[in-house]
Every structure is written in structure tokens, then in C-alpha cells.
Amino acid sequence: MKRTGILIGALWLGLCANARSQSLSLGLAAGGFFPREQTYRDVYGSSFPLEFEVRFGLIKNLGLAAGVSYINDSGQALNIGQGQDSYAVRFKMVSIPLSAYLLFPLNGLSLFGGAGASVHSYEETWQTVSISNTGNTTKPFIYAGVEFRVLSRVSARLTLRYENIDAGENPALAREINLGGLTLLAGVSVRIF
């Protein structure tokens, strides 16, 4: 898994180095994550990821993007039955998405869509019981969005991303847990050059 991440990173950097860079943008976004996993929704509800992104415009419509995304949620373990106790739990996930995208200018707006892979590192901890589960995985994702220029170097962006993240089995549930879902991000990006 780690090797896959390194390979993707190397490929991405290689493309950047060999391309005649036309633009470089930095972006910051926040929004909502709508998990496909029912257990996630029950325990943590929807969550609010933060994401920092670097984008290289390589040629006219093609670019590469990299970033860091962070989720930090707290919730209560599901109470199955009529138990009187409650257990606080916390979930953190750091993701490093690497992707290629296409940009389509359209009447002052730009539509974009892309695909790539994210390296995810996650940890779930029970606050009062000695239970902690960690994991790493690399999974593909797709996204699309719209961008419009607010100032000469500043743009506002709206991005919708879908991920499918099989993350192993919960033995008590006897089935696989999926950390994927839809992420809707709103943010700004600043073009450096």
C-alpha cells in the first residue's frame, strides 16, 4: 500500500517536472462528507472535511492535483439493544489525493472533472475502553466541479467527489466496512502563476 502511494506520487511529480507548467494554484476547501456506510452515519453522522490542494495546469485543459484532506469526527458507539451505557468514540482520517483533471471553460465559469487515487490513513479510538483500530489503504476516486473567478487570481470552487474505500471487516458486524461516500467541498483557490 505504501509502495503504491510512493509510485503514484513519483508519477505525479514526474509529470509535473516534465511538463511545461502553465499555472500553479493553491486551494483550501471545506464541506460535508456523506458516508455510504450506514454504521458511519449512525455513529458519527455526516462529517466536515478540510482539504488543502495544489494544482498544476500542465497544458491547455489538463492538470494534475495533489492535496491533503482531514476528517476528525466524534460520536457514540451504537447501542444495539436496551443497554444503559454509552461509549464515546473518535474517528480520524488523513487522505492524500493525487489526481489528473480536465478543465472546460464555459462562459466565465470553468467546469472540471478528474480521477485519481487517495492514500488514506485512519484511526478509530474508543475514549473510555482500550480499543483502537488503525489502517491504511489506497483507493481510487472521481470528482467533478465548477470554478468561477472572483478576483484576477482568486477563484471560488465547488467540488463533488465520490470514493469507494473498502477498509476491512468489523468482526462484530461480520462484514466489510466502507469509508467511502460523497464529499461536497466549497473553497477558494489562489493562482500563484
- Judged by the rule CB under 8 A, the positions of this chain that interact with other proteins are 37-40, 42-43, 75, 77-85, 87, 89, 91, 124, 126, 129, 131, 133, 135, 167-168, 170-175, 177, 179
In whole angstroms, the minimum distance from the beta carbon of 18 to other proteins comes to 41
Q: Which is nearer to other proteins, 23 or 134 (CB)?
A: 134
Cell representation of residue 187: 473553497
Pick 115 or 131: Cβ nearer other proteins = 131
Shortest separation between residue 50's beta carbon and other proteins, angstroms: 20
Residue 46's CB: how many other CB atoms inside 10 A? 14
| Min CB(181)–other proteins separation in Å | 13
Phi then psi for 87, rounded to 5 degrees? -130, 120
- Is 1 or 131 the residue whose CB approaches other proteins more closely? 131
- Residues contacting residue 68 through CB under 8 Å, at least 6 positions apart: 51, 52, 94, 95, 96
For other proteins, give the closer residue by CB, 77 or 100.
77
**Minimum CB separation from other proteins for residue 188, in Å?**
32
Q: Which helix (H) or strand (E) holds 176?
A: strand 175-178
Q: Can you read off the three cell numbers belonging to residue 122?
A: 485512519
Return all residues near 62 (Cβ < 8 A) that are at least 6 apart: 100, 101, 102, 103
